[in-house]
Structures are given as structure tokens and as C-alpha cells.
Structure 1
Amino acid sequence: MRTPADRRGQVEQILATLATHGLLVAEGLDGSVVPGDKPRNKAIDALAAIKALTPYEEGEYRLNPRLRDFIADHLQSYNAFQAFTRLSGNIRQARQEWREIYDLKADGEVAKAERMQWALDDTISEVVYVMDRNLNVLNSQLSTDYGNVESRRIKSRQNQFYDREINVCRAELNQLDELIKEITEGAMAIGFHHVRSLINVRLMNRMLSWRSRLNDCQASISKQLGKALKVETKIKNLGRVALWLAQNKTSDGFQDIELDERAVALLLTPKSLKIKWNLDASDTDPAVFECMTNAVAAMPPPPVQKNEVDEVAPAQEVLYTKQEEIEEEHDPVDLSIERVATVLTTTSTEVLSLSGWYTEHGDNLGEISEEEWLLYAARQLSVLGFKVEFNLIERARGVHNDLFSDVRVGLK
């Protein structure tokens, strides 16, 4: 009898063989594997011994389909018309295993019935895996907009194919509903509450999510089919117009047609709108600020209005009082920005790092964070006429804003 230790050793040996000859496994994903020199033939024999490679034709091997599906699930790389894995076989197997458990419990063979529960648990786990895989296949095709094909007609046929696959999958979920009902009612009758709990947790709690995701995907497919139908109609109309223009080359086109209020808006030429540009006085961009300054300098001075009779203003008495001098408080951040500008203009420093400045003089900047310092200082130094460059970093998937790690300032 094979012990668990022997089984674990065999599994470890299989995985070690796959890892050693991983290049041949990767080659098998793209096509057939053919023999070659002696080391290559030895590697092929080792993979064939563990059934990772199977004979295809004379002198050719193919990757095990189950191993190919496993790798495709991990890479989420599927064929153009990757069909769903059917649930019907697993449902029939689970129903037969449950009926065997029921009969064993009725005959008083409780120990055998409990051992049969492990087989039922494995079958249910496979049902969950298959259903999740089907949804991953569907989501992968929809998210890439069927990027594994190029023709619009093939994309339309793919939409129709997966629409039919969803209908078949929905019918299999109805069969699964019947199985869940049968097992839960039977488990309550014979007192197998853990089997009922297993069915509720592993299957019943997922049914609503599975149906909802299938409905969302089918709604997206229906929308794509509607768009394809509209595009096909427009292409046919465009083809008719192109044929008419080719047959009537001396015609002026649509100028010969009288258009009334029922005409399609796309056939009418829109009139241009006159736009008057105005500058925003609050814009602190250096280029805009320079334009506004030049425009104000070119304006003539306002005319001086003189009164006909010069009125003599009465003498005014001025009372002198000594007021207390109040020193103006300067923001430490603004003072630090002035020091940065002084360093760049009076020393030989060509480029200065604002993040490094914050690290050295952060104690003198108050409670401002490094991110606030970088954004505020970069804007103010840009207004003062310095060259500001952001050290951008690579964005993660799903992030649409630019990210940066530092700001470098120098003279223009």
C-alpha cells in the first residue's frame, strides 16, 4: 500500500521534472515538440514519462491538454473561440456520489458514507473551479475586446458564440440548483448537517454572484452586437454612396439635392462661431504673465482731467504720533523658497533637488509635508522663472495620474 510519504515524494519528483525542463514545456505551448540532439531527447523522454508530453504524430509531441489549460488559466491567455468547460459531467458525478452516501447511511455503513463525502467535496470543488474558470475566460475576452482576432466579422461571430455559451452555462446553473435542493433536503433528512453546510457555503452562496456576472457579460455582448449591426448598416450605406460617386464622377455631389428642415444634420455644413479671446488676470504662468505685462506697458497713460477753476485746498493740520512698529511675520515655507532661489542665482549650483532640500532643512519648514512642499515650491519657483522638472516614475496598472519622486530646479 502506498504511504502518504511515497505520494509526496512522487509529486515532488514530478514538479522537479517540470521545473528542470521548463523550456520544453514553454515550447509546447506554441506548437509541437520535435526531438533533436541527445540532451533534448533525454528531456523529452523525462517529460513523456510523467505524461507532461503526449505523442502526437511520428516524431512529434504535444503538451498535455490539462497542463496547457492550467498554464493558460494562470496566464489568462485563451484561444479566440475558447469554449466553456461543461458542468454537466461534474453535476452528474456529484448527484451519483450523494445518492451513494444516502444509501450507505440508510444501510448503516456510516464510516463508508463519511469516506464518500471526501469524493463529493472534491467534485464540488471542481464545480467551483470550472465555473470560476468559465467566467475568467469570458471576462478575459471582453476586457481585451477580442484582441486575439483582427476582422470585425470574426469579432461579431465571437460575440454570438459567447452569447450561446452563456445560455448553455445558465441552463447548467439551473441543473446545479436542482442538485443543491436535492442534497440539502436529503442531508436534513438523514442528519448529515455538515454536508448541508458544505453545499450552502461552497455552492449556494456563489450562485447569485455567478448569475449576476453572467448577466452583466451577456448585457455587454448584446450591446456589442447592437453596435456591430449599426456599423454594418453604416458601411453598407457608405458603400452605396461611394458607388454612386464613382458612377457619377462629373456630379457636384450633394449640392444638387434640395435640403429642407427634415434633412439629416450630418449633411449640413455648420457655421463657424466667432470667439473673442480674453486673458485670465489670475493666471500666473510665466508666458501669460509676460504677455499681460507687455500689453499693459504698451497702453497709453490715462488722460488727466483739469478743472476750469483751480480750487485752493485749505491748509491741513497733521498730527504726528509715534506708532509701534510691528514686524511682519514671514512664512517659513516662503523664506525657504527665497533661499532656494538665492542659492541657484548666486552660487555655482546648476540643479537643486527639492526633495533633498526638504531632507536637509525640513525642521525649518514647519508642519508642511514633503508632498505639499514639492507641489507648492515647484509652482512658486516656476512663476519666478526657474526651470522645473519632475522626476516621473512608472505608473501602476489602473492609475491614470502621473507620479513623481522628486522635483529638480535649475536656471533656464
Structure 2
Amino acid sequence: MSEWNSMNREIKKNQLRSQIVQNSGNKDESSEEIIKKARSKVKKKRFRISLVVLLVLAAGGIGAFEYFSLYHYTGYGVVWSKELNEGSYEGYLNFGSNLLKYSKDGASYLDSQGKEVWIQSYEMKSPKAVVNGEYAAVADLQGNSIYIFNKAGNVGVATTVLPIVKATVSSQGVVAAVLEESTANYIYFFKQDGSALDVKIKALLGGDSGYPVDISLSPDGTQLMGAYAYLKNGTLNGRVAFHNFAEIGKSVPDRLVGGFDEPYDSSLVAQVHFLDDTYACAFSDNSVSFYSTKNALSPELVKQIPIKEQIKSVFYSRKYVGLIVDNPGGENPYRLDIYRPDGKQVFSKVFQYPYTNADIDGNHVFLYNENSCRVYNMSGRLKFSGTFDFPVTKIRNGRFPNTLIVTGPQNMKEIRLQIGGQYQ
């Protein structure tokens, strides 16, 4: 009996052990499933949170874009003001994200807060500055010197025997200059250190090429675009010509790869400009023309837009070309037309503001005079109109979407545009 009881107890113990092991296995499996489900829930929750955050950011971005694109400011506040060094003053040019100030006795490079990065002294009777990308040049018109700069300062000085009529610079620092002689004009080329290149073009008013009125180098320095005046049947006509100084241009006589006379029959071309290495534009007295040099040996006239009204101003950036023309009749005496490099119109706007200067910086058009300003975006919307109690000679974008850098002969200010009112 005791043995039977002992055996009974042993069997019950084994059954109990078996149940414990089985229950432990079931418990382990349930734990794994619970963990998996928990992880899945966490992932889904994180995804939903991330999606909500992205939607909020997107909505905020769209709202900010709409705000800065559509809002019209009428007032401003001065963020900071900087007094500039005194001296003679000729003008300012955008130089990268900063400004080049030049005068008869020197040039200086000003950063975005009006600090002088460098100063270069010289003496010129009639300085004229040009900028292209990382390089700038200041030429003494009717004089014999050209100072070449990059953002670190003066890198070279070109000296000429003949008087300088025009000068242009590439973004690589190569300079081309029109030099005047009594019987002919010449286009000479200089390296960034000022030394002369073994390249020159002779031009005669009565010759095949014509008299150079204006020139422009492509940013890479391999192409030269020229506006020429020449005689045809006793009448003065305009011409646009392209020269290529890359290796491919050696196969063409005088490196002349394109000439356009017919579009300018009985008209004169006053100004030409390379917008980038592919697109260029020419301004005559009755048209604006857009060219492409995608085919280096055969430049193409992409589009010519006739202008019936009198052209008052032309201005441009790498991305846009602007014209202001008379607008006869009505209460608005002027019309502002903005184009892309391929000649497609961005917008057209009539206005009656008495501007004296016009510029493009980024996606803004600036019209201003000595004490007031108007700013348009590339939708043609008036973003800002206001007056200043200090002299103005240059306006450009500031560090933020609602700020401007306003520069006068002896001062620079950053202003923050506001809904209304103004303070100092």
C-alpha cells in the first residue's frame, strides 16, 4: 500500500511537472506575440506622428511662401546701419553675395554688413567697373589702366598704350578691352594677372567687321560677343558677332563663328551681354534679341522681340532680362517687361513710379530713385513701396526674405520690411 501510494505521488509529480513546462511554453509564445504586436503598434504610431509633422511643415512652408510672395509691405525698420569711408564715389555693383564700391581714387569690397574686406587705391579720371562671377575689373575709360580683382583683392593690372573705350571680364578673370586709335579700333585680351594675351581683333567702321560699340565675354572666357556699327549703302547699321577662342574656334577664320546683320537692318545695337555660357542678349534701338551658343560653331538667334516704344532702361541678371519702355496713353507712363534667357516673357507691368535706377537680384526687381523704392517679385506683384530719409544709390536682397540692403554714397543699412510705419 505504501509502495502504491509512493507510485501515485510520483505520477502526480510528473503530471504536475508536465503541466508547468507546457504552461511555460505557452506563456513564452504569448510573450513573443505580445512583444511583436507592441513593436508594430509603436512603428505605426511613429509613422503617423512623422506624417503629421511632415504635413504641418509642408503647410507651414506653403504658408510662408504664399506670405512672402503675396504680401505687400509699406514700412520698414532698420536692422543695422554702417557708415562707409568718405571719398569720391562712382557706383556700386553686386559682387557675389556682397558689393563692389568703386570711385576715382580706389575700389573696396564690402561684405553683407558693410565691413570693408579689402581696399585698393588707384587714380582714374573715368572709372567704369564690370563684374562676372568671381572676378571684377575697373577700367579707366580714355585712360590706360585696368585693375582686375577677385573676392580676395587685386590680382593684376593691365596697362594699355591706346586709350580704353570699353572693357569686359569673364568669371575666370580674363579681360577684353576695346582700344581706340585714330584710324581703327582694336579688341585686346589680358590674363587675370594683367599680362597681355597673344590675341587681338582689328575693327574698322568701313571694314568688314564694323566699329565695336559694346562687347561681352562669356563667363568661361572662351566666347566674345560684340555689337558693331558698320556702313551699308551710306547708312549706319547694326551687327552682332560671336568669336570663339576655345580650341574649336581655331578652325574658323578670325575665330568668327557667327554674324547677324539682317535682324538689325536700319537699326543700331547699343549693348550686348552674356547671361551665362549658353545664353546671351542684344539690345538695339527697336528690339531685344536672345541668342543661344549651345552649338559653339553656330550661334543661334532664338528670339527677337520688336519694341515699338522708346526703350528707357535695360538691366539683367543670370536668370532674367528686364526692359522699361514708354507706355503712351493712360495714367501709367512706363511698362516693365521681364524675360527669361530664352526670350520667354515672365511678366509685364505698367507703372507711373518716377524711377532713376532698375536692378534684378534673385527673384526680385528693384526700381528706385534717390529716396524711395519699389520691389516686385517674378509674379509681377508689388512687394514693397516706400520712401527713405537717407540717400539711396543701390538696393539688393538682404539676408532674409523680408530684408533689403540699402546703400548710399557714404552709408549702408539693412532694413526689415514691415506692414506699415517706419522707425529709426
If the TM-score is normalised by the length of the shorter chain, which range does it land in? under 0.3
- The structure having more radius of gyration, on CA atoms, is 1
The two structures have a TM-score, normalised by structure 2, of 0.19
Of structures 1 and 2, the one with the larger relative CO (CA 8 A, separation 6+) is: 2
Q: Which structure is higher in helix share?
A: 1
Q: Which structure is higher in strand share?
A: 2
